[in-house]
């Protein structure tokens, strides 16, 4: 009898989740497994919302943003009785392995599930913040960066037309990756992120010199975790004597059809996840480091603080002072 594997998405949605689901289902089928999908994440495991991943169910999923399966942050999954209910739902269908696409919170939940019931899983990192330790890339990041780029390009048009200062707030509570890469890619004059100390006095002097040299507009990109979006906007108006506006991009960054890069990375992550399960690896999260795919234990990921690459921090530091 062919082994069965269930695939689910969990936590915050990210473009690339759908291509990863489809790729994992298609590749596991090629390897002789029978793939299933779980609707609404951890809650779906508890409720038994588990269906075979037929071609009809997967059709049209590749190009869609977000997660077609749905996601949830189920507090009930922390309760042993509900985890037991989820295990019994898998037993009824004969499902012996899991693939979860999400963040470290989702991986920790399935790690506890393994401790309780010994159901092996493989994790695929998917979060637009790119803040999972042990991997250089998480699904959804490239699409989010392109959504930000498109928005900033539009804002620049009006900023230039009226000689205004604009502050754009990106997502990123503890990790400023989106803000840093976007600031560099979009030619922002200011970037404030949690990882770098900033000096507004130095920033002000630098911007005044640029204005005197003919700079028509100013763009500042700020990570939400700094709490500086509104203060920086007021500061620009007061110090630079410019009409200053704030744009909070919010959840527009999560949406959008996955880019080619996210689709290809989703396929590669999915193949690696299935291969790890077939090789007998348990509790492994697929990682991408220095151009190569590998894996880390959930303990390695959970117990290691994520740090942005130093070269990126060095490039952005000049925009914070």
| DSSP, res 254 | G
Q: Which residues are catalytic?
A: 129
CA angle 173, 175, 178 (to 5 degrees): 100
CB-based contacts of 182: which residues, under 8 Å, 6+ apart?
A: 145, 148, 149, 152, 168, 170, 188, 221
Q: How far apart are CA 103 and CA 56, in angstroms?
A: 28
Contact 166, 218 (CB under 8 A): yes
The runs of H, that is alpha helices, within the chain are 17-30, 41-47, 55-58, 80-93, 104-117, 141-162, 177-185, 200-212, 229-240, 260-278, 298-302, 310-317
Q: Which residue in the block uniquely carries the two structure tokens 């990863």?
A: 20
Query: How far, in whole angstroms, is CA 18 from its chain's centroid?
Result: 13
Sign of CA dihedral 169, 170, 176, 179: negative
């Amino acid at each position: 009898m062919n082994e069965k594997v269930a695939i689910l998405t969990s936590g915050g949605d990210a473009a690339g989740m759908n291509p990863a689901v489809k790729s994992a289902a298609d590749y596991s089928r090629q390897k002789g497994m029978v793939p299933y999908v779980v609707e609404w994440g951890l809650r779906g495991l508890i409720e038994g919302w588990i269906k075979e991943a037929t071609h009809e169910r997967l059709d049209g999923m590749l190009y869609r943003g977000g997660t077609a399966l749905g996601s949830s942050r189920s507090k009930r999954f922390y309760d042993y009785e509900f985890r037991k209910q989820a295990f019994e739902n898998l037993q009824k269908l004969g499902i012996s392995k899991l693939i979860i696409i999400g963040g470290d919170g989702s991986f920790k939940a399935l790690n506890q599930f393994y401790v309780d019931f010994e159901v092996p899983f493989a994790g695929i990192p998917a979060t637009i913040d790119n803040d999972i330790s042990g991997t250089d890339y998480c699904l959804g990041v490239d699409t989010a960066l392109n959504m930000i780029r498109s928005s900033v390009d539009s804002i620049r048009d009006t900023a230039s037309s009226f000689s205004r200062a604009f502050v754009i707030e990106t997502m990123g509570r503890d990790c400023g990756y989106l803000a840093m890469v976007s600031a560099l890619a979009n030619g922002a004059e200011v970037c404030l992120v949690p990882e770098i100390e900033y000096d507004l006095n130095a920033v002000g002097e630098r911007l005044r010199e640029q204005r005197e040299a003919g700079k028509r507009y100013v763009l500042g990109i700020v990570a939400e975790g700094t709490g500086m979006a509104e203060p920086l906007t007021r500061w620009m108006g007061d110090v630079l004597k410019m009409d200053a506006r704030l744009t909070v991009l919010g959840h527009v960054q999560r949406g959008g059809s996955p880019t080619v890069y996210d689709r290809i990375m989703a396929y590669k992550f999915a193949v690696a996840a299935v291969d790890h399960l077939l090789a007998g690896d348990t509790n492994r999260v697929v990682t991408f480091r220095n151009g190569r795919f590998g894996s880390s234990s959930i303990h390695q990921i959970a117990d290691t603080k994520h740090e942005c690459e130093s070269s990126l921090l060095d490039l952005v530091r000049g925009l914070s002072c």
